[in-house]
Amino acid sequence: MVTSNVRKCLVVLAAAAELAATGSAGTQIQYATGQNAVPVYEGWKKNPDGSTTMVFGYMNRNYEEELDIPVGEGNRFEPGDADRGQPTHFFTRRQMFVFEVIVPPDWGNKDLVWTLTAHGRTDKAYGSLMAGYELSDIVIRENRIQDMGQGGGEPNKPPTIALAGPARRSIAVGDRLTLAVSVSDDGFPTPRPRRTGSGGAQRLPKPNPVTQAVVKPRPEIGLSVTWIQYRGAGTVTFDPASPPINAGSATTTATFTRPGTFVVRAYADDSVLTAATDVTVVVSDRPR
């Protein structure tokens, strides 16, 4: 079955990334800093217009250091445009289903190669349209939810998210930028309180792929909104990072520690499928 093949591919990719992080299968070495980020190809999805969406993630081998790798020689795609909307800010550890790249119907058998270089090491991910890499919502659910029975068979659709206001903003260092989104969902998978097994272990959804470094587990499976730093070197603080949803709207504030151009991203997450919207923020020095 295609689903089984894809599941095996994702398991192999995750295992390979973890092996790269530890150095060997029998030696569990944890590095706080100084390690690189490994790009990962997650698989592909066919679109109604004949194009294909390739999905990528990554493994930041550090346990504490978040990496900033600008688009360029150290963070590029080929062939074609080096910038395919990939992140330049990398959270720690394994981040799945982070971003998507659409390729045209005539893409054929070519590989779309993502190259990352950090701390002196270069790794590549090869995006391919091989049948075994086809993704489905079932595969994504099984990779994101620890309790395999949760939401099984429900007709789940991705949530929707829309930004309130312009997609490009300007602000000074230290000032608070208000960000608001409207979100909706089909109600699936059905929200349920967290459950515990016989040994007391919590059965929770795995965190949002690119926000697991900053978001605490939610008390139940259901729709949530989370803001993250997607591009830009410096620290972005969201208050709160995961704001409550009231009447379909969620609002937070962001502050920036240094000038530059940043991209911040909001994810709507139903615990299985996600949708995202971005804001480009130009941050200037505070006048003296």
Vertex 12: Cα angle to 207 and 271 (nearest 5):
20
What whole-number distance in Å separates Cα of residue 270 and Cα of residue 150? 12
Q: Are 131 and 153 in contact (CB under 8 A)?
A: no
What whole-number distance in Å separates Cα of residue 233 and Cα of residue 186? 36
Q: What is the pLDDT at residue 273?
A: 87
What whole-number distance in Å separates Cα of residue 175 and Cα of residue 250? 20
CB atoms within 10 A of CB 9: 19
CA distances from 56 to 53, 125, 161 (A): 10, 8, 21
N residues, the chain: 288
Q: Give the pLDDT of the chain (288 residues) as one tens digit per residue.
A: 344 444 444 544 444 545 544 444 455 688 999 999 999 999 999 999 999 999 999 999 999 999 999 999 999 999 999 999 999 999 999 999 999 999 999 999 999 999 999 999 999 999 999 999 999 877 887 777 654 455 556 678 899 999 999 999 999 999 999 999 999 999 888 766 555 544 444 444 445 555 554 444 444 558 999 999 999 999 999 999 999 999 999 999 999 999 999 999 999 998 888 999 999 999 999 765
What whole-number distance in Å separates Cα of residue 287 and Cα of residue 218? 40
For tokens 């080929």, name the residue: 78
Domains in the chain with CATH codes: 2-135 (no CATH), 154-284 (2.60.40.10)
What whole-number distance in Å separates Cα of residue 186 and Cα of residue 192? 15
Q: What is the pLDDT at residue 193?
A: 58
Backbone phi, psi, residue 245, to 5°: -100, 120
Phi-psi region of 20 (alpha: psi -120 to 50; beta: other; left: phi over 0): alpha
Amino acid at 226: T
For tokens 């790249």, name the residue: 101
Q: What is the pLDDT at residue 144?
A: 74
Tokens of 22: 């530890």
> Is the torsion defined by CA of 229, 244, 157, 92 positive or negative?
positive
What whole-number distance in Å separates Cα of residue 37 and Cα of residue 89? 10
What whole-number distance in Å separates Cα of residue 213 and Cα of residue 58? 13
Three-class HEC string of 48-114: CCCCEEEEEEEEECECCCCEECCCECCEEEECCCCCCCCCCEECCEEEEEEEEEEECCCCCCCCEEE
Q: Are 58 and 69 in contact (CB under 8 A)?
A: no
Give which of 208, 23, 231, 173 is closest to 97, Cα–Cα. 208
What whole-number distance in Å separates Cα of residue 22 and Cα of residue 269? 30
Q: What is the pLDDT at residue 221?
A: 59
Tokens of 257: 């520690």
Q: Alpha helix (H) ranges present in the chain?
A: 2-22, 137-144
For tokens 């200037």, name the residue: 284
Global pTM exceeds 0.85: no
